[in-house]
Structure 1
Amino acid sequence: MASFYKCKQKVALLLSFLLLLSIVPKEHIYAEPIGESELYSKSCVLMDGDSGRILYGKNADQPLANASTTKILTCIVALEYGDMDGTVTISENACGQPKVHLGMHKGQQFRIKDLLYGLMLESFNDCAVAIAEYISGSVEDFAALMNTKAEEIGCKDSYFITPNGLDAKNDNGFHHTTAEDLGRIMRYCAWESDKSGEFREITQTANYSFCDLDGKNYQCTNHNAFLNMMNGVVSGKTGFTGNAGYCYVAALELDGKKLCIALLACGWPNNKTYKWSDAKKLFQYGLDHYEKKNIISIPELDSVVVKNGFEPSASLEKWGTDIEFIPQAKIEKKEAWYLVSEEDQIRTDVELMPEMTLPVKSDTQIGKVRILINDQVMEEYALIAGKTVEPWTFAELFHSIMMKFLFL
Structure 2
Amino acid sequence: MLKKVVGFLLIIFCITLVLSPPVFAEEIHTTGKANIVIDVATGRILHEKNIHEKLPMASTTKIMTALLAIENMPLDKKVKIHPEAEGVEGSSIYLKANEKIKMIDLLYGLMLRSGNDVATAIAYEVSGSVEEFAKLMNLRAKELGANNTNFVNPHGLSHNDHYTTAYDLAIITREALRNPTFKEVVKTKFWLAERDGYQHFTNKNKILNICEGGDGVKTGYTIKAGRCLVASATRNNMQFIAVTLNDGDWFNTTNKLLDYSFNQYKPYTVFKAQDLIKTIMVKNGVKTTMYLEAAKELIVPIQEEEEGKILSIIQAPETVSAPVIKGQRIGKISTYLDGELINSTYLLAKEDIERLTTKDKFLRFFKFK
Give me the TM-score of the superposition, normalised by structure 1. Answer: 0.63
- Corresponding residue to 1:225 among 188, 206, 216: 206
Q: Deviations over 1:139-194 (max 9, x none)?
A: 1111122222222233231111111111124xxxx11111111111222212x23x
Within the candidate set 30, 42, 47, 1:39 is matched to 30
- The 5 A counterparts of 1:287-366 are 287-294=262-269, 336-342=298-304, 344=306, 347=309
AA aligned to 1:376 is: E
Q: CA deviation at 1:348?
A: 7.4
C-alpha distance in 1 between matches for 2:206 and 2:235: 18
Q: Between Structure 1 and Structure 2, how many residues are aligned?
A: 286
Higher-Rg structure is 1
Q: How much does 1:332 deviate? A: 8.0
TM (norm. structure 2) is 0.69
Deviations 1:281-315, CA, capped at 9 Å, x for gaps = 1111111111122569xxxxxxxxxxxxxxxxxxx
Who is 2:94 aligned against?
103
Matches of 1:162 and 1:254 in 2, distance apart? Answer: 34
Distance 1:100 1:348 in 2: 46
Superposed, 1:5-404 pairs within 5 Å as: 32-35=25-28, 38-169=29-160, 174-190=161-177, 192-193=178-179, 196=180, 198-212=181-195, 215-267=196-248, 274-294=249-269, 336-342=298-304, 344=306, 347=309, 372-373=336-337, 376-378=340-342
Deviations 1:349-393 (A, max 9, x none): 99xxxxxxxxxx989xxxxx9865355343689xxxxxxxxxxxx
Q: Distance in 2 between matches of 1:201 and 1:209?
A: 15
Unaligned stretches of 5+ in structure 1? 1-30, 268-273, 297-329, 351-360, 364-368, 382-408
Helix, strand or coil at the partner of 2:304: coil
Distance (Å, rounded) in 1 between the aligned partners of 2:50 and 2:296: 35
Q: Please give the secondary structure, in 2, of the residue aligned with 1:55.
A: strand
Q: Distance in 1 between matches of 2:126 and 2:344?
A: 38
Cα RMSD (Å) of the superposition? Answer: 3.0
Q: Partners of 2:344 and 2:120 in 1: how far apart?
A: 42
Query: C-alpha distance in 2, partners of 1:226/1:295?
Result: 30
Say if 1:289 and 1:239 are closer, same or farther in 2 by CA, change over 3 A: same
1:186–1:250 CA contact under 8 A, matched in 2: no
User: Identity over the aligned pairs, expressed in percent?
Assistant: 32
CA distance, structure 1, for counterparts of residue 133 and residue 38 of structure 2: 27
Determine if contact 2:93/2:198 at 8 Å carries over to the other structure: no
